[in-house]
Structure 1
Amino acid sequence: MDTTIRLTQYAVGGGCACKVPPGELERIVSGLPGGKADGDLLVGIEHGDDAAVVRIDGDRAIVATADFFTPVVDNAYDWGRIAATNALSDVYAMGGEPIVAVNLLAWPRDRIPFDLAAEVLRGGADVCAAAGCHLAGGHSIDDPEPKYGLAVTGLADPRRLLRNDRGKAGTPLTLTKPLGLGVLNNRHKATGEVFDQAVAVMTTLNREASIAAVAAGAVCATDVTGFGLLGHLLKLIRASEVSAEIDAAAVPYLDGARDALAAGFVPGGSRRNLDWVRPAVTSALPDDELLLLADAQTSGGLLVAGELPGHPVIGRLTATDGQPRISVH
């Protein structure tokens, strides 16, 4: 197997930074028929939550999601692990437990040896095994760009869901993983430098954080991925009809993130995120600081309305006068 192939060079974007910009996505999805919460469909498309949720009976609900993306690192096995961890995160972000997943694979068979695809799938399988989630089959296509992810089905208690529309003013905000993945991954793509600290964060399951949030009685959360901390927070406060304050000094960052920012390794997705949230943000901080807060994360942590032991409180939800805003200081 050729380990010199740099997978990131076969894709225009990388990881969750290749998401469709949030503003464009909302405009398209808002015009679609159906999909809105009604009856046993507890969570639909209205607020862009992390997964759909359908009630089965009084204490069981199905959590359904799909997530895939282009290579975020050059190592095929690590990319598989990262993509699978990220896909499972959508279930954890809803307070659920993943039960079964299927692979989603796109591969340029005439450009990259198919043996590397086996390494990607092996990485995904190892993550699912660690999560106690069955992985069975899936779907593959021949595609000019490599892409990988999972469609995941989980279970949750419908009375103890974590949702992005249940935030209450006065509740602290907790972040369970450091930021900076976007700029470090972009530096990796440009230079080939390997950032083990970023890979370690992206392959850490959000399972324990989800369990802790549900046990603490939290009812509002989201995961922080392609729209950055500010983007996902904006979706949360709009859905919950509250505002928010962020203490920038309390936000944790990965080693090397600020150096990567200073060297100019900012993904286009991070800049688009900041452009999208800027009308709702009040801050005297420089744009570089706001860019880090809007940095497009891949397989990031949970943003929980509530306090979780061992994780930093980075702000709080506040009352709004009808126009949800984010104050960053």
Structure 2
Amino acid sequence: MDTGDGRPTDAALAERRRLINLAYRMLGSPGDAEDAVQEAYARWYALSAARRRAVAAPGAWLTTVVSRVCLDVLGSARVRRERYVGEWLPEPLPDRTEWPGGSGGGSADPADRITLDESVGMAFLVVLESMTPAERVVFVLHDVFRYPFPEIAAIVDRTPAACRQLASSGRRRVGAAPAPDPGQAHQAGVVRRFRQAWESKDIEALVGLLDPAATMVADGGGLVGAVLRPVEGGANIARYLVLMAERAPGLTLLERTVNGRPGLVAQRDGVTATVAALDLVDGRISRIWAVRNPEKLGRWAASAGTC
């Protein structure tokens, strides 16, 4: 099939999955990422056939547009988040086999699937949130997707030297965060014991699985009940979790992959109420990110079953 500019249709469309992956890491929201990529394609197909023929590398053109759209979105998002009720967290991702749509619960469009690797871990995305929009875009382009600084400079309209400084600043932020335990099997075992202790309301067991300096952050977006400030300290988190279990009987806790790492999902009557991403350091849970905002849980509707 031909687009009318002498180039096969898939020359531009083949870039879609890479662009979705790029935009999600920049924005922390699959929906916003899809919107940014759609905007880039709308601009591409709004070009005349002659102008599309003049573009030697459609992928590079689309990357430039997506990155600039993301930069604009990040700038406006900072203003919106000042009015956000409580803590803001990135939208969590289920395992690719559990995305709604298509047969078997998979994504209806494989090009929309986001690759689950260390660059979409909740800890990494939260650090990205601490960066300025320019830092984040440059850091993701260079350190995650390995674009050279001269190309990034052309994308963000800055000098290569300025881009190096932005990437270096972002790298320092990432380097300051504790390194999580890499072993998936080990993590899964700790998460399972944590689930069992939570279900049995065993405060002593919960405290033993939590780092004494652990932190729990909840995002309800003002739409559902959630603690508005971080809960600090393993003992305080354990007591809070038990209190939650007592106030919300009937919750089912499921072990699920959250952003590529073992996590927990809380359901009530089959409806996902909370998705918890967990971070482990030295064999203990050091961070809990509990996403409760229902607007961020749409992709978890297909998650079912028990562990």
TM-score by length of structure 1 reads 0.26
**Greater fraction helix:** 2
**Greater fraction strand:** 1
TM-score by length of structure 2 reads 0.27
Instruction: Pick the structure with greater CA Rg.
Output: 2
